[in-house]
Chains A and B, each alone.
Chain A
Amino acid sequence: QVQLQESGPGLVKPSQTLSLTCTVSGGSIASSGYYWTWIRQPAGKGLEWIGRIYTSGSTNYNPSLESRVTISKDTSKNQFFLKLSSVTAADTAIYYCARDDYNNKGVDYWGQGTLVTVSS
């Protein structure tokens, strides 16, 4: 059973960089066939896909966030990371990491989510 766990600061100041880590257990991020993905959800609103990284290191980002987003990984630690720069209050949301079984089930395993608030 694949499990994902987000970690990182729950409070970030405006204009700073939001940094989150996703630790994966029960499966390897080096396995082919899956992307490792970040998705967010502002309070009371819908889901917004941020971006993804493949085992090769290739990435895809939502064009609406692309100028501010970097997703990277550390295969040796079975972790992948999100950095979102120049944050504003509009970036306040629950951030989820997830596995994307892109050629079959889509996003099938999710972390529990972590709330990040942007405030001074």
Chain B
Amino acid sequence: DIQMTQSPSTLSASVGDRVTITCRASQTLSRWLAWYQQKPGKAPKLLIYKASDLESGVPSRFSGSGSGTEFTLTISSLQPDDFATYYCQQYNQYPLTVGGGTKVDIK
């Protein structure tokens, strides 16, 4: 199985901050990586697919980059609605595997 490592596991930030989350894969993924946002009691919501493609309806302050084994999710200016947990998931190979998550909370 491909191991996915996210960092940091927790991130404290303020509204307006630029936030970057990193995801590393144990094998190359090409660009088959997605980012999800999850709020308590809710299903994950797709933000980014194919490493950098923005899902329809997702604000443009979210962006993704990377290829191969290293990827980043950036929130350019953190908004109150963005406090949540973020996951990266690889879909280059089955079984699908997910990073451990990054909880973004209020500083």
A74 within 8 A of B: no
Q: Are A49 and B95 in contact (CB under 8 A)?
A: yes
B89 within 8 A of A: yes
Indicate the member of A47, A100, A102 with the most B CB atoms within 10 Å.
A47
Q: Are B91 and A106 in contact (CB under 8 A)?
A: yes
Residues of A within 8 Å of B1, CB to CB, are 63
Q: Are B95 and A63 in contact (CB under 8 A)?
A: yes
B55 to A: closest C-beta gap in Å: 7
B83 within 8 A of A: no
In the complex, which residue of chain B has the Cβ closest to the Cβ of A63? B95
Count of interface residues, chain B, beta-carbon cutoff 8 Å = 23
Q: Are B91 and A107 in contact (CB under 8 A)?
A: yes
Given A107-B46, A108-B46, the answer on whether A46 and B87 have CB atoms closer than 8 Å is yes
Q: Are A106 and B43 in contact (CB under 8 A)?
A: no
In the complex, which residue of chain A has the Cβ closest to the Cβ of B91? A106
Q: Are B43 and A112 in contact (CB under 8 A)?
A: yes
Given A47-B98, A113-B43, the answer on whether A107 and B55 have CB atoms closer than 8 Å is no
Q: Chain A: interface residue count, which band?
A: 20 to 34
B102 to A: closest C-beta gap in Å: 11
In the complex, which residue of chain A has the Cβ closest to the Cβ of B49? A105
The majority secondary structure among interface residues of chain A is strand
Residues of A within 8 Å of B24, CB to CB, are none
> Of A37, A49, A52, A100, which contacts B97 at CB under 8 A?
A49
Q: Are B46 and A106 in contact (CB under 8 A)?
A: yes
A70 to B: closest C-beta gap in Å: 16
B93 to A: closest C-beta gap in Å: 11
Q: Are B89 and A105 in contact (CB under 8 A)?
A: no
Given A46-B100, A47-B87, the answer on whether A105 and B46 have CB atoms closer than 8 Å is yes
A16 within 8 A of B: no
Give complex CA distance A112, B43 in Å: 6
Q: Which 6 A-B pairs have the closest CB atoms?
A: A110-B43, A105-B49, A49-B96, A106-B34, A106-B91, A62-B95
Task: Return 22 A-B CB contacts under 8 Å, by A number.
Answer: A37-B96, A46-B87, A46-B98, A46-B99, A47-B44, A47-B87, A47-B89, A49-B96, A61-B95, A64-B95, A96-B43, A105-B55, A106-B46, A106-B49, A107-B34, A107-B46, A107-B89, A107-B91, A108-B55, A110-B43, A110-B44, A111-B43
